[in-house]
Amino acid sequence: MEKADLNWQALPFDYTKTDCHLEYYFINGQWDEGKVVEDDRLSLHISATCLHYGQECFEGIKAFEDPEGRVLIFREKDNASRMVRSAEKILMQPFPEEKFIEAIDKLVGLNRRFIPPHGSGASLYIRPVLLGISGIIGVKPSTDYMLLVFCTPVGPYFKGGLKPIKLLVEESIDRAAADGVGDVKVGGNYAAGLRASFRAKSQGYAETLYLDPKEKKYIDESGPANFFGITQDNRYITPDSDSILPSITNKSLMVLAKDQGFKVEHRPMHIEEIFTLKEAGCCGTAAVITPVKSITYKGKTVTYCEKEEAGPVCKSLYDNLTAIQAGLKEDSYGWTREIPMD
């Protein structure tokens, strides 16, 4: 099939309309079989719980074309189960995991001309979104739900891909509450982080690095990604905290780092540890691995990359991960799956 007429190498991390999306409804206690929709606007009840009370959660998954033109998807089963956890945490009806996989396969098949060509550096980003849609005015869970899943071809989240970014440690704004919902992917967490992100960007930083909301002593994560550091004695340290999203990319990097000979430490990470690292990075589906150039905390800046170049550890983890995702290297971990195309 002929590809869509897009400038694949120059794609930003942004929305491009594709041919269709899918919509599934949970009404009268069961999920329907879903329908294919071309119009990329929704019609919702003005009192839907997703609009007023934030009953919304979502996921982000990437699919890649391999050198033979096959389409590979990365660890989507983990996204399916994370979305169930997100839904349950804010009392929404979860979307069944098998149906989630079927929906993705169908959607990608229908939009195959939007899958970026192998080697373009772009990928197909798949966004499932679950919404409470009952028209209710009291604060209580919806009875009816909608799962929509759309896809859009994207380039790197942080401009420049593997170009190192500057982070600012945020001390006065939390993205998530202690004992709140920071460990699930609900829209409200992102709204709560907008002010901090805006402030960091307006001061010339690419993103915020959040501290734990309880003690403000430990690193949580960056706006859209988990954080990791590499020590002089080759340890891969990444924060463990109840208020960060357990990243599927980070889970993969912990395995890759271990197999590359690093000692992996997944534990609370004191903010002062930033001054002892030799490299640092942000990781996530959208961010992939984005090396950190510097971190500024209480007016002091620690710099990891003197030039605009990733350090060797970030670079090798990036090369390893992206080679597996794009089918350039054998996937001995069982993380990728070929999406059947008919």
Ligand X SMILES: Cc1ncc(COP(=O)(O)O)c(C=O)c1O
The catalytic position among 163, 166, 185, 298 is 185
238 binds ligand X (CB under 6 A): no
Nearer to ligand X, 34 or 284 (CB): 284
Residue 342 CB-density burial (10 A; 0-12 exposed, 13-18 middle, 19+ buried): exposed
Q: How far apart are CA 289 and CA 124, in angstroms?
A: 17
Least distance in Å: CB of 150 to ligand X?
A: 16
Residue 130 is a binding residue for ligand X (CB under 6 A): no
Among 245, 257, 292, 321, binds ligand X (CB under 6 A): 245
CA atoms within 13 A on the CB side of 292: 31
Binding test (CB under 6 A) with ligand X, winner from 152, 208, 247, 322 = 247
Q: Least distance (Å) from ligand X to the CB of residue 227?
A: 9
What number of other Cβ atoms are within 10 A of residue 148's Cβ? Answer: 20
Could you say whether residue 256 binds ligand X (CB under 6 A)? no
Amino acid at 219: I
Q: Which is nearer to ligand X, 20 or 292 (CB)?
A: 292
Catalytic residue check, 185: yes
Considering the complex, state which of residue 144 and residue 221 has its C-beta at the smaller distance from ligand X: 221
Does position 249 bind ligand X by CB under 6 A?
A: yes
Establish if 181 lies at the interface with ligand X (CB under 6 A): no
Smallest gap from residue 34 Cβ to ligand X (A): 24
Minimum distance between the CB of residue 147 and ligand X, rounded to whole angstroms? Answer: 18
Q: Which of 128, 153, 156, 224 binds ligand X (CB under 6 A)?
A: 224
208 binds ligand X (CB under 6 A): no
Beta carbon of residue 224, minimum distance to ligand X (angstroms, whole number): 5
> d(Cα 310, Cα 307) in Å, to the nearest integer?
8
Q: Which stretch binds ligand X (CB under 6 A): 14-22, 137-145, 157-165, 223-231?
A: 223-231
Name the residue whose CB lies closest to ligand X: 284
Residues 59-98 vs ligand X: string with x where CB under 6 A?
Answer: -x--------------------------------------
Does the protein bind ligand X through residue 285 (CB under 6 A)?
yes
Known catalytic residues? 185
Which residues form the interface with ligand X (CB under 6 A)?
A: 60, 221, 224-226, 245, 247-250, 284-286
